[in-house]
A and B are shown apart, each in its own frame.
Chain A
Amino acid sequence: MTGQIRLAAACCLLLFAALLVNAARVQVIQADSLDRNPANRRAAIDRFEQPRGRILVDGRPVTGSRDTRQQLRYERTYAQGPLYAPVTGYASQTYGTTLLENAEDGILAGTDPMLAPLPFWNDITRGRRPGGSVVTTISSAAQRAAYTGLDGRRGAVAAIEPATGRILALVSSPSYDPGRLSGTGSAVADTWRRYNDDAAQPMLNRAIRQTYPPGSAFKIVTAAAALDTGAVEDVDKPTGVPDPYVLPGTRTRLPNDTRGCDQESLAYAIKWSCNSVMAGLGVRVGLDGMVDAVGRFGFNDRRLRIPSGVAVSNFDREMSDDQLALSSIGQYDTTATPLQMAMVASAVANGGNLTYPRLVERTLDADGDTVSRTGQRSYGRAMKPSTAYRLRQLMVDAVETGTGTSAGIEGATVGGKTGTAQHGVGNSGTPYAWFISWARADGAARPAVAVAVVVEDAEAVRGDISGGGDAAPIARAVMEAALAEAR
């Protein structure tokens, strides 16, 4: 019997060996794929196990946390949800994260290796650190001015400090309350569905994720290209572009909204927004020159991050001359985000130097010590300093005596450009009102702010829409707020 008992014992040993090998297979070899399985809730539970770090505006948190004692424990709250939604985004148990909440998730959730006291600390302790804070560049005064200025109308505002690239305001209207997406359950799902079904698209971040035909506001870019390439040498000399201007190779006449544009100078064209002159200059610069110039302002850049991704502002790379003519006055396929147009104004204000826009000043750990700083970096030289100097003069003229008079501010130099963009099939859609501008306090060395405003108001009567009427007052309010801060 002894032999049989030994053999039976060996069989039992084999069973245990099989168990151990299989346990090693599950716990070591397959562990990663099992951990990553979307149905595995552990990652989500761990993620919401601790309060999320704070997003700060002007040193004050605009976010908070609510302890629900549920499985996904801490839910995100927002102090002024709709106001800051285009900046913060949402951080939802159900729908994930967007915008800053997404881009700085590692810091806010405490998983960023930079938060750990030692390298590989998180891997060893398998834990996460308390969430850190994200200090934004937003100025609450400018943000609020933009938000109240839009007053629920569809539109967006982006404001940048030209010298540093700090984004002072990023507003999209109508907005939504990201706090109502925090958590789980039917209330959250209902809110999500309502926001998504809403025709006004409250969850669309119009400031960086929506592109619009820039219309006449784009003429600044065309003017910069014309001056840089030498297509125009003297802004006050007649350009010789006839009115009416017939699009090259077609019989289509390009209409002007203003009179007296025939053969006019660049200065007049910018001040009174002549389509014919600017379209002609665009063709004169040529496709390669235009594509080159717009690229230096940030058009066609798929890698623009602030740190959230920004929708690509488009200027076609292959066109016939008639299409180029239309593109040069911000029509045809030319589209831009409000942030992109703020960058255009910023480049002009900053002497031709375009500073890379950024939304995050620095990140802090839970104790308030700095983890990282977002360095200021140049996007590149958008135009020659002399060109920028001339364009500043032209934009100041437009505000003082031209189309943008409603943007003027006491005690500051303001330059601006209006835009009214046709869109839709056969231009049947309500035009968008644009205004891009910059402001420098009298006596200050640098301009305090560059801003772009777009208003797409479906309710207004067509004739009332113009950059000067709808968008310029909003831009002025934002600039005033920024100037007050800069003092």
Chain B
Amino acid sequence: MTATTGDPPPPEARVAKRRGVELSLLVGAVLISVLGYAAVGLALDAAAPPDALTHGAGLGLLALVAHLAVRFRAPYADPLLLPIAVLLNGIGLVLLHRLDLATPGERDAPAQLVWSTLGVALFIAVVVVLRDHRVLQRYAYLSMAAALVLMVLPIFFPAVNGARIWIRIGELSFQPGEFAKILLAVFFAAYLAANHNALACTGRRIWWFQLPSGRVLGPVVAIWLLSVVVLILERDLGTSLLFFGLFVILLYVATGRTGWIAVGLLLAGVGAVAVGWLEPHVHGRVEDWLDPFASIDAGRGPGQLAQSLFAFAAGGMFGTGLGLGRSVLIGFAAKSDFILATAGEELGLLGLTAILVLYALLVARGYRAGLGLRDPFGRLLAVGLASIVALQVFVIAGGVTGLIPLTGMAMPFLAQGGSSVVTNWVIVALLIRLSHSARRPLPEPVEAGVIAPAVVVAGPVPGTGPSTGTTATGGER
């Protein structure tokens, strides 16, 4: 994590826009993807695929259009965000193409390319239309309601592989839960930004422990609990874990109370153990995590997790090389939840490390934008979005490598799944907008947060300004 000061740059200083850096990084990202595509063809057909150039041109065109949007509408944005997204998406397409070749009759890479195009289109739309992230504060409650609706919808549709997270309309299937992540992050950030003083400084004191007043905390906890319950009903454990982590992080960043983290983790532990014991679907996952080879000993052959571990092991340090792995053995989830196993097997620990470092950089840049911003909503939103990426990567990568029990979730940008790709492009678009605001030399006048504080603080609280922006040093306590 790069250390930056929270101080905004002095207004008269010329800040480098770094768009040229972004462009050259994009060229590199597209080149790596095209080379990967060619490597798959060389390995499997002993000839470079004839469409490698068109493939590269397509990806390059997407990257270029996105770059132009950033260049003209968010010129001060962080130059790393877009290239990382393009590179991860490119690697994802290569891996899917490689798995397509191993699974005759399935063509998922082209569909993923269409979704990626849609994602980039949405990215451009967000960057162009959303002039200032603070506008989003006005829609906090609306986005909360929309998120809940989106999460409840799949209950009315049939379950797929044990989880009710899909909406099917004809041929198209869509995971609304994916998009709900962003909406909830917006709501949490807006609500906590509007009320963070009240949360931090009001309420009773019990021993050394200061409870925030229930009236402030109540609504947000209710929303959060509701979403977690819904997700557990839908058996979408990964996302409920993600929301839980997101909520705890934002609460901590907004209030600065470590006690809450402890309480949150304790609650999470109790909840996880309870669900893990009581829910058969989850219980099976936990059992599998404790002993991935139990099914082998029982004579039923290796399960998905065992196959995934086999794939990672086969990759070793340097990998088998693109196209030469056997991760197809994992089965039907090889392209979605277990896409990382293909990366691990064919690119080795080296390649896997590179991919994880790309994610870490993306997260770090998101946090950095949060540090550079001056309004609490923007800060919380940047932290929230970056945390979503970090938690998603941790939950699914930890799951497929046997670090934590496996919960289904899409690896951002890599895994097959239209909803996930589109959602992540929107996250990157928001981070672009946020980082542009953070690095912009001339601070624009701050608009008032539209969310009204739920509690009017009686009397001025020392050390805090009004909720319309704190001092840039930001350290309230």
* CA A3 to CA B383, docked complex, whole Å: 13
A8 engages B379 (CB within 8 Å): no
Q: Quick one: closest B residue to A30, CB to CB?
A: B313
Contact B317 A27, beta carbon cutoff 8 Å: yes
The answer on a CB contact under 8 Å between B256 and A40 is: no
Question: How near does chain A come to B290, taking the closest CB pair, in angstroms?
Answer: 15
> Smallest Cβ distance from A94 to chain B, in angstroms?
15
Q: How far is the CA of A239 from the CA of B209 in the complex (A)?
A: 112
Q: CB distance B475 to A19 under 8 Å?
A: no
| A427 contacts across to B, CB distance below 8 A | none
Given contacts A12-B390, A16-B356, A23 and B312 within 8 Å (CB-CB): yes
Contact indicator A4/B360 (Cβ below 8 Å): no
Residues of A near B349 (CB, < 8 A) are 23-24, 27-28
Check: B1 CB closer than 8 A to any chain A CB. yes
Contact: A2 with B473, CB < 8 Å? yes
Please name the residue on chain A nearest to B193 by beta carbon.
Answer: A1
Interface residues of A in 147-205 (CB under 8 A from B): none
Question: Contacts of A11 on B, CB cut-off 8 Å?
Answer: 249
> In this complex, what residue of A is CB-closest to B196?
A1
Query: Which residues of the partner chain B approach A10 to less than 8 Å between Cβ atoms?
Result: 1
Among A8, A24, A37, A38, find the residue whose CB has the most chain B CB atoms closer than 10 A: A8
| A26 engages B473 (CB within 8 Å) | no
Residues of chain B within 8 A of A37, CB atoms compared: 293, 296, 302, 306, 310
CB–CB B316/A22 < 8 A: no
Smallest Cβ-Cβ distance to B472: which chain A residue? A2
Q: Is B348 located at the chain interface by the 8 A CB criterion?
A: yes
Interface-located stretch among B79-87, B273-281, B394-402: B394-402
Which listed residue, B306, B352, B391, B398, touches A18 by the CB 8 Å rule? B398
Binding-face segment, B55-63, B364-372, B455-463:
B364-372
Residues of A within 8 A of B321 (CB): 126
The answer, yes or no, to whether B309 is at the interface (CB within 8 Å) is yes
- Check if B310 sits within 8 Å of A40, measured CB to CB: yes
Cβ–Cβ contact A12 & B473, under 8 A: no
Chain A neighbourhood of B103, CB < 8 A: none
Chain A residues within 8 Å of B256, by CB: 1, 3-4
CA distance A397 to B474 in the complex (A): 114
Residues from chain A with a CB closer than 8 A to the CB of B403 are 18-19, 22
Chain A residues positioned under 8 Å from B370 (CB to CB):
5
Assess the B371–A8 pair: CB atoms within 8 A.
Answer: no
Q: How far is the CB of B409 from chain A (nearest CB, A)?
A: 14
- How far, in angstroms, from A34 to B401 measured CA to CA in the complex? 13
Asked whether B344 is an interface residue with its Cβ less than 8 Å from the other chain, the reply is: yes
Residue interface bits A36-55, CB-to-B below 8 A is 1, else 0: 01111110010000000000
Task: Check B1 against A9 for contact (C-beta < 8 Å).
Answer: yes
Is B230 interfacial (CB-CB < 8 Å)?
no
The reply to whether the CB of B363 lies closer than 8 angstroms to some CB of chain A is yes
Inter-subunit contact A13/B1 (CB<8 Å): yes
Contacts of A319 in B (CB 8 A): none
A18 to B397, CA, bound (A): 10
CB-CB under 8 A from B301, the residues of chain A are: 39
Chain B nearest CB from A222 CB (Å) reads: 53
Residue of A18, A31, A38, A40 touching B316 (CB-CB under 8 A): A31
Contact (A26, B296) CB under 8 Å given A6-B1, A8-B387, A9-B364 = no
Return B311 CB to nearest CB of chain A, in Å.
Answer: 9
Known: A1-B253, A27-B344, A34-B309. A39 touches B401 (CB 8 A): no
How far, in whole Å, are A180 and B223 apart by their CA atoms in the complex? 66
Q: Are A45 and B356 in contact (CB under 8 A)?
A: no
CB pair B475–A23 under 8 Å, yes or no, is no
Instruction: Tell me the dominant secondary structure on chain A's binding face.
Output: helix
Write the chain B residue with the least CB distance to A46: B326
CA distance A39 to B474 in the complex (A): 56
Q: Is A20 among interface residues, defined by CB-CB distance under 8 A?
A: yes
Q: Is B329 an interface residue (CB 8 A)?
A: yes
Q: Which residues of the other chain, A, contact B312 by a CB distance below 8 angstroms?
A: 23, 26-27, 31, 34
Chain A residue contacts of B356, Cβ below 8 A? 16, 19-20, 23
B293 and A19 contacting across the interface, CB-CB below 8 Å: no
Q: Is the CB of B309 within 8 A of A12?
A: no
Please report the C-alpha to C-alpha distance between residue A233 and residue B131 in the assembled complex, in whole angstroms. 118
Q: Which residues of A contact B475 (CB under 8 A)?
A: 1-3
Interface check B314, CB cutoff 8 A: yes
When the two chains form the complex, which single residue of B249, B353, B364, B390 contacts A23, counting CB atoms closer than 8 Å?
Answer: B353
Beyond A8-B252, A9-B364, A27-B313, whether A39 also contacts B302 by CB under 8 A is yes
Find chain B residues with CB under 8 A from A8 CB: 249, 252-253, 367, 383, 387
Nearest CB to that of A45 among chain B residues?
Answer: B326
Check if B6 is an interface residue, CB within 8 A of chain A: yes
Of A3, A4, A16, A22, most buried by chain B (CB within 10 Å of CB) is A4
Complex: A6 Cα to B139 Cα, angstroms: 28
Roughly how many angstroms separate A423 CA and B397 CA in the complex, as a whole number? 67
Contacts of A9 in B (CB 8 A): 1, 363-364, 367, 386
B63: min CB distance to chain A, Å: 25
Q: Is the CB of A19 within 8 A of B401?
A: yes
Asked if residues A4 and B252 are in contact (CB atoms below 8 Å), the reply is: yes
- Say yes or no: is A15 at the interface (Cβ < 8 Å to chain B): yes
A10 CB to nearest B CB, Å: 7
Measured between C-beta atoms, what is the minimum distance from A111 to chain B in Å?
Answer: 16
Q: Nearest chain-B residue to A7 (Cβ)?
A: B252
The 8 Å CB contact of A35, one of B314, B329, B344, B390, is B314
A22-B402 contact given A1-B253, A2-B475, CB 8 Å threshold: yes
Asked whether any CB of chain A lies closer than 8 Å to the CB of B179, the reply is no
A16 contacts B313, C-beta separation under 8 Å: no
Q: Beta-carbon contacts of B315-346 to A below 8 Å, as 1s and 0s?
A: 11100110000100100000000000000100
Which residues of A lie under 8 Å from residue B344 when comparing CB positions? 23, 27
Specify which of B249, B383, B386, B393 is in contact with A19 (CB 8 Å cutoff): B393
Interface residues in chain B, defined as those with a beta carbon under 8 Å from any beta carbon in chain A? 1, 3, 6, 249, 252-254, 256, 293, 296, 301-302, 306, 309-310, 312-317, 320-321, 326, 329, 344, 348-349, 352-353, 356-357, 359-360, 363-364, 367, 370-371, 376, 379, 383, 386-387, 390-391, 393-394, 397-398, 401-403, 470, 473-476
Binding site for B on A (CB under 8 A): 1-13, 15-16, 18-20, 22-24, 26-28, 30-32, 34-35, 37-42, 45, 126
- Supply 13 further A-B pairs (C-beta < 8 A) apart from A22-B402, A40-B313, A45-B326: A3-B475, A4-B254, A5-B370, A5-B383, A6-B1, A10-B1, A12-B363, A12-B390, A19-B356, A19-B403, A20-B353, A31-B312, A31-B314
Q: List 27 A-B contacts (CB under 8 A).
A: A1-B475, A2-B6, A4-B256, A5-B370, A5-B379, A8-B383, A9-B364, A9-B367, A12-B363, A15-B393, A16-B357, A19-B393, A20-B353, A20-B356, A22-B402, A23-B344, A23-B349, A23-B356, A23-B401, A26-B312, A26-B401, A27-B313, A31-B314, A34-B309, A34-B313, A39-B310, A45-B326
